[in-house]
Amino acid sequence: MAHRLQFALTVMFHYLFPILTMGLGFFIALLSTLELVTGESRYGAAAKFWAKIFAINFALGVVTGIPLEFEFGTNWSRFSSYGGSVFGQTLPMEGVYAFFLESGFLGLFLFGEGRVSRVVHWLAGVGVAVGSLLSGYFIIAVNAWMQHPVGYRLASDGTLHLVSFWAVLLNPYAGWQYAHTINGALLAAAYVMGAVGAFYLLCGRHLEFGRQTVKMAIVAGTILSLTQLFPTGDFNGADVVQYQPVKLAAMEGLFKTQQGAPLAIIGMPDTTRARLLDPIFVPDTLSFLAYGNFHATVKGLTDYPRDLWPPVDLTYYAYHIMVGLGTIFIAQMLLGLFLLWRRRLYSARWFLWTLMLALPFPYIANEAGWMVTEVGRQPWLVYGLLKTSAGTSANVAGGEAVFTLIGFCGIYALLSLLFVFLVGRVIHEGPEEAPPAA
Amino acid sequence: MNVVWFWTLAVMLTVYAVLDGFDLGVGAVHLWVARSNEERRVALNAIGPVWNGNEVWLLAAGGMMVVAFPRVYASGFSGFYLALMLVLWLLILRGASIEFRHQIDHPMWRALWDAGFGVSSLLLALLLGVALGNVVQGLPIEADGFFQGSFALLLNPYSLLTGLLSLVVLGWHGANYLRTKSEGALLARARRASLWLFWPAVALALLTTVATFHVKPNAAANFFVHPLAFVFPALAAAGFVGALVFHRDPTDRCPFWMSTLVIICLLVTAGATIFPNLLASTLNPAWSLTVYNAASSPRALRDAFIANGLGMIGVVVYTTYAHRAFRGKVRLGSHGY
């Protein structure tokens, strides 16, 4: 249990940083491109401002990411030894194809101005974005393999052997999962930009930067909040329906198998009595969402053996928090777009307040989404093949894992304080102002 | 293919030791060599654009170990559990120190992170050497391929000696790197540090060689099968001699290349000593994890080699470019730390 808690803590804390590096990298590359094309220095100043925040995130992403790569071996040694030669295929590729690109070019981007030509500097910005987006794919491929193992055969020594490299790399489960994850990261970055821009507009500083940033955030955020639902969320959900129907039942809090299953908007699962308390249902909708047919039969939890249920409460609430927040994001962004169109966006202080205060919610939604994926996969570590309890390190005592778990709690608490403090300072200092026009 | 993967991992870890070695070394000596705030900023900016990339070599090597030798990864990492967690925490502290120091312009804030950077670099250089010492010496691996690495087991005289060797050699390497990057008083102190660390490094290297034959009497067996391998310890010795001969090199570049040569040759020698074992069992030689019994299937090895080999070509090209873009002395400007 301590192994699971430690991994959950370290991976969830780590993921706070890649959300922004994956999302922000794209926007920095976009701003650098605008600078190169238009020659306007305000885009360059904005790119530089975000690169500062990116750099702090990246550094913390790296230092909190190294533990994860180690933990496969330190805490999950039986899992590594069992499936390493299959799921491990894409693990070093993350380093080889993505991290080298990201770290090498980030150095060039942050330190290289004046040392390299403008085009190379721009290329470095693009390299950072490509690297951070690629890194996501390789690690999602590992996770997708744990959700839906492919390309292996069970060898006589009890470990898995690789049958097809391409099957692992191009796992059908990975495609939409990746799209949904990256889309979520980009949306979070749009929200961070929106919140910072709104903050500047509300306190009357860096007005031009604020307007430019809020506008970019609203336009990108509207598109992204919609694509988060469809197609990425919808198709990712379809993969769950196809490969992990128990997870679907837990996500939706569906206990009894039903024809024309309803969609629970609100309700509290009661696992001992196998029912949903105080629910508000939309009739037949779950059947439609899962199978495209209002009368399709959806299997409920009680039709599966109890020991194959994931923790229902956690899966259910995480899923509902994610979907609920996603819906609110769409509404908020559409409203913002409407105000932008009516040219009232920059003066609608009430809206800017909501945009600024919305900052934590995309993070919560992203983390909740991962909780659905990972908690919902339980009790399996590799779906259908290896139980989580059989993957831990047998030679590491529970007490040792508790000790290191406490250590990680302490260090990460300290890191988060420093992070908030330092990013707060960067935002307080603001972007470099262009010299006033003559 | 198994043998190819052994040397691929060895090369990855050697490159890691050379690259992250100089920034660990800079960290280990900077409290002593760089005194003023400007000098410490020069030291940080000397490694600033590259240290993160250097650390990726370790990450990539770890990933490659999962796919090529999953049983070694599983056994080694879980066996060294607490020691590795310590390494992780130090890596976190070190990364945080580098990134946080320049954020606030206050002497106390800087002193705090200077100490964090110095201490974590020092301990990391030591611990990596301790780990290598234990790998060379062998571990009490049971029939199931696992062992339990308590501190009492890991901190033995031989591994402490290799830890010290690693610390001193990397410190020397870091001082040599600083020589290529600095000017003025800092350069003068880096030159002095480089010489002061040189003699202990030679002494410890000799002592370690003797001690290795003591804990592992057949350490030279592979060398007599492939006499060509004697080139590496010979070149390591040549590197030490070269460093002494070229110590006064006015461009300050030669000593750095010499310490690079020494680190490469020492590690390849260590690799040649343990081959074909990856983790040797001290309980029963048959329980050792070797490149044959701990490897993935031939297909997995081949595919992973192609997939990562292609990527590494690209990595080498742009890593070289990035390092070249920052060659020469550090000039403090508005950018950077």
pLDDT in tens, A196-255: 999 999 998 888 888 889 999 999 999 988 888 888 888 888 888 888 889 998 998 888
Facing A70 at nearest CB: one of B55, B70, B88: B88
B64 shares contact with chain A (CB less than 8 Å)? yes
- Entry field: residues in chain A: 438
Please name the residue of chain B whose CA is at the shortest distance from the CA of residue A63: B92
CA separation for the pair A217, A409 (Å, rounded): 34
User: At B335, is the pLDDT very low, low, confident or very high (cuts 50, 70, 90)?
Assistant: low
Query: For residues A243 and A173, is the Cβ–Cβ distance under 8 A?
Result: yes
Interface contact B82-A58, CB threshold 8 A? no
Distance of CA B182 to the CA centre of its chain: 23
User: At A436, is the pLDDT very low, low, confident or very high (cuts 50, 70, 90)?
Assistant: very low
Query: For residues A360 and A43, is the Cβ–Cβ distance under 8 A?
Result: no
Query: Residue A70 to residues A5, A10, A125, B10: CA-CA distances in angstroms?
Result: 16, 11, 29, 18
Instruction: Give B118-139 pLDDT, tens digit per residue.
Output: 999 999 999 999 999 998 888 8
B52 shares contact with chain A (CB less than 8 Å)? yes
Three-class DSSP category at A267: strand
DSSP per residue, A366-381: HHHHHHHHHHTTTTEE
User: What pLDDT is attached to residue A318?
Assistant: 92
> Of A6, A17, A63, A386, which to mutate for an interface test with B (greatest number of B Cβ within 10 Å)?
A63
Cβ burial A26-64 (10 Å sphere, 16+ → b, else e): bbbbbbbbbbbeeeeebbbbbbbbbbbbbbbbbbbbbbb
- Side chain identity at residue B110, one-letter code: R
Q: Is the ipTM of this complex over 0.85?
A: no
- Residue B38 tokens read as 């400007």
The arithmetic mean of pLDDT across residues A403-430, rounded, is: 88
The arithmetic mean of pLDDT across residues B1-24, rounded, is: 87
- 25-44 in B: which are within 8 Å (CB) of A? none
User: What pLDDT is attached to residue A434?
Assistant: 54
- On average, the pLDDT of chain B sits at 86
Distance from CA of B197 to the nearest CA of A (A): 30
The arithmetic mean of pLDDT across residues A43-54, rounded, is: 87
User: What pLDDT is attached to residue A433?
Assistant: 67
Interface contact B59-A99, CB threshold 8 A? yes
> Of B69, B88, B89, which to mutate for an interface test with A (greatest number of A Cβ within 10 Å)?
B88
- pLDDT exceeds 60 at position A123: yes
CA distance between the termini of chain A = 66
- pLDDT exceeds 50 at position B325: yes
A6-10, A197-201, B209-213, B293-297, range with the lowest pLDDT = B293-297
Q: Phi and psi of A394, rounded to 5°?
A: -75, -25
Distance from CA of B98 to the nearest CA of A (A): 9
Distant-in-sequence, close-in-space partners of B217: CB < 8 Å, separation ≥ 6: none
Q: 10 Å Cβ neighbour count for A235? A: 14
- pLDDT exceeds 80 at position A369: yes
> Of A17, A60, A62, A423, which to mutate for an interface test with B (greatest number of B Cβ within 10 Å)?
A62
More confident residue, A263 or A59: A263
Distant-in-sequence, close-in-space partners of A143: CB < 8 Å, separation ≥ 6: A177, A373
DSSP per residue, B24-76: HHHHHHHHHH--SHHHHHHHHHHHTTTHHHHHHHHHHHHHHHHHH-HHHHHHH
User: At A322, is the pLDDT very low, low, confident or very high (cuts 50, 70, 90)?
Assistant: very high
Distant-in-sequence, close-in-space partners of A340: CB < 8 Å, separation ≥ 6: A215, A218, A219
- pLDDT exceeds 90 at position B107: no
Instruction: Give B37-50 pLDDT, tens digit per residue.
Output: 888 888 888 887 78
A7-11, A154-158, B9-13, range with the lowest pLDDT = A154-158
Instruction: Give B244-285 pLDDT, tens digit per residue.
Output: 888 888 888 888 899 999 999 999 998 888 888 888 888 888
Interface contact B318-A89, CB threshold 8 A? no
- pLDDT exceeds 70 at position A438: no
User: What pLDDT is attached to residue A401?
Assistant: 87
User: What pLDDT is attached to residue B65?
Assistant: 87
- 156-215 in A: which are within 8 Å (CB) of B? 159, 161-163, 165, 169
A413 shares contact with chain B (CB less than 8 Å)? no
- On average, the pLDDT of chain A sits at 87
- pLDDT exceeds 50 at position A60: yes
Instruction: Give A126-161 pLDDT, tens digit per residue.
Output: 888 888 888 889 889 989 999 999 888 888 888 888
User: At A74, is the pLDDT very low, low, confident or very high (cuts 50, 70, 90)?
Assistant: confident
User: At A437, is the pLDDT very low, low, confident or very high (cuts 50, 70, 90)?
Assistant: very low
H or E segment to which residue A275 belongs: strand A275-282
B319 shares contact with chain A (CB less than 8 Å)? yes
Strand B277-279 versus strand B289-290 pairing type: antiparallel
Distance from CA of A384 to the nearest CA of B (A): 21
User: At A193, is the pLDDT very low, low, confident or very high (cuts 50, 70, 90)?
Assistant: very high
Distance of CA B320 to the CA centre of its chain: 19
- 100-129 in B: which are within 8 Å (CB) of A? 100, 103-104
- 368-407 in A: which are within 8 Å (CB) of B? 393-396, 400, 403-404, 407
Interface contact B56-A161, CB threshold 8 A? no
User: What pLDDT is attached to residue A324?
Assistant: 92
The distance between the two most distant Cα atoms of chain A, rounded to a whole number of Å, is: 79
Q: Which residues of A touch B95 (CB under 8 A)?
A: 59-60, 62-63
